[in-house]
Amino acid sequence: MSEISAPKPHNIPEITVSELAGAVKRTLESSFNRVRVRGEITEMKTYPSGHTYMALKDDGAKIRAIIWKGNASRLGLKPENGVEVIATGKITAYSERSEYQLIIERLDYAGEGAMLARIEALRLKLADEGLFERARKRPLPFLPRVIGVVSSPQGAVIQDIRTTIARRFPSRIILWPVAVQGEGAAAQIAAAITGFSALAADGPIPRPDVVIVARGGGSLEDLMAFNDEAVVRAAASSQIPLISAVGHETDTTLIDFAADRRAPTPTAAAELAVPDRLGVSASLAQLGARLTGALSGQINARHLRLNRAAGQLPDLPSLMATARQRLDERSERFAMALPRYAQAKRHRLEQIVARLPDPRHWLTGKSHGLALVAQRLAPPMRTALRERRIKLDALAARLNALSYQAVLMRGFALVTAPDGAPISAAATARTTPHMIVRFQDGTVSVQPEKTG
């Protein structure tokens, strides 16, 4: 029977799983201080706590990553699935799952190519929705009373706009200060554009007649806030005509497509917003001179036509004197002719009256004739009335004989329903709840006897 051999001693100490995970974590964190990792964002999810979990991948590998809630506002851009970025942060390990992960402190687009591809994809999407249609563009007001500016309160942009407007045509400027780059800049710009449109025309803060969205030049990454979808949609939905003036003349952002007018620089935007008062004054003076000349020509032409017409008119004083003399003659003749006319009419009336018969004689004759006619008509009328009376009495006797009243006088009775309909059958009487029996001297209300 062989003996059991004891285990051989060795120099490797025993450690727990937690101790091993902690050692790995310390090794990772000490070996990699801060790293910049390039990859495509995938599996991104933001939890109610505000922390965002994701993964960064390339063609050969994938690493887990976390954005803590406190770092979300300082990232530099808004993370989205499918966007290639360069993530800056620290490597650490999650002991419970034995995974290493990247704690992200900043995100940058992975080169201008990725940013341009993302901008172009958004441009095509918004263009398909019709947000860039020329029919949506509105004309700028010729002389705005109030100009709204969405820009940073610091820097040369707002000063250039103020100086240019003061030089060309002084107008009231209302600045809505916003951040023009970095995290949160897009939300502030979109809110400012929407806020200007929401102002009441008669409110304590006057509603602008035109809005300028402006910032100075910068890299493509610096201008990314003006390529944000929320900013472009706010510009397209603005109720106030909007001028975009972002970057230098060669810079183009998506807000330029949605704006009503694009200016290459903020100074050019101010020049588009207000006219040049010197040019306006010169134009007004030129128009005034042209109007004065045109009116003078019209007045001279009318005066010449009036003089020609006056030369063709007859001598008015002579015409008036002749008419006055003719009127005097006609008045004298009329004064003499009126009494003669009245006298002739009176004489004619007297002749007619003399030929008329005496009305009393006429009435006497008519009365005598009427008496003779009445005397001749009296005997025939009495005879005719007597014959008509005899015939009427005979008809009345026949009618009385046929009346149901004569039948009632002979001892009969008339049974009717309450509505007056006659009841001539016993079956009908049994089903009628209330009947009226009419005799020759009155009526009696009866009810049929109930049968079991």
- The 10s digit of each residue's pLDDT in 28-67 is 777 777 888 888 888 899 999 889 999 998 888 888 899 9
Residues 308 and 318 in one domain: no
Residue 445, beta-bridge partner list: 436
> Helix (H, G, I), strand (E, B), or coil: what is residue 108?
strand
Residues 268 and 293 in one domain: no
Q: Token pair for residue 105?
A: 């402190």
Residues 345 and 252 in one domain: no
* Residue 79 in this model has a pLDDT that exceeds 90: no
Asked, for residue 423, whether it belongs to a domain, the answer is yes
Above pLDDT 90, what percent of the chain?
25
Q: Cα(242)–Cα(255) distance, rounded to whole angstroms? A: 10
Residues 428 and 440 in one domain: yes
Residues 341 and 298 in one domain: no
Residue 344: which region, alpha, beta or left (left: phi > 0; alpha: psi -120 to 50)? Answer: alpha
Q: How many residues does the chain have?
A: 452
Q: What share of the chain is helix, strand, coil (3-state, %, to 5)?
A: 50, 20, 30
**Mean pLDDT in residue range 393-414:** 77
Residues 271 and 302 in one domain: no
Q: Cα(389)–Cα(107) distance, rounded to whole angstroms? A: 130
> Helix (H, G, I), strand (E, B), or coil: what is residue 214?
strand
Strand 52-57 relative to strand 261-262, pairing: unpaired
**pLDDT per residue over 313-328, tens digit each?**
777 777 787 788 888 7
Residues 269 and 331 in one domain: no
Asked, for residue 367, whether it belongs to a domain, the answer is no
* Residue 292 in this model has a pLDDT that exceeds 70: yes
Q: Cα(197)–Cα(235) distance, rounded to whole angstroms? A: 10
Instruction: Name the residue range of residue 345's domain.
Output: 314-356
* Residue 451 in this model has a pLDDT that exceeds 90: no
Asked, for residue 327, whether it belongs to a domain, the answer is yes
Residues 253 and 199 in one domain: yes
Asked, for residue 372, whether it belongs to a domain, the answer is no
Residues 300 and 321 in one domain: no
Asked, for residue 65, whether it belongs to a domain, the answer is yes
Give the pLDDT confidence score for residue 195 in this predicted structure.
Answer: 94
Residues 300 and 325 in one domain: no
**pLDDT per residue over 328-366, tens digit each?**
788 878 878 888 888 888 888 888 877 777 777 778 878
Asked, for residue 298, whether it belongs to a domain, the answer is yes
CATH at residue 271: 3.40.50.261
The total domain count for the chain is: 5
Average pLDDT over the chain reads 84
Residues 93 and 45 in one domain: yes
Give the pLDDT confidence score for residue 1 in this predicted structure.
Answer: 45
Residues 157 and 268 in one domain: yes
**Global confidence as pTM:** 0.50
* Residue 196 in this model has a pLDDT that exceeds 80: yes
400 vs 213 pLDDT, higher one? 213
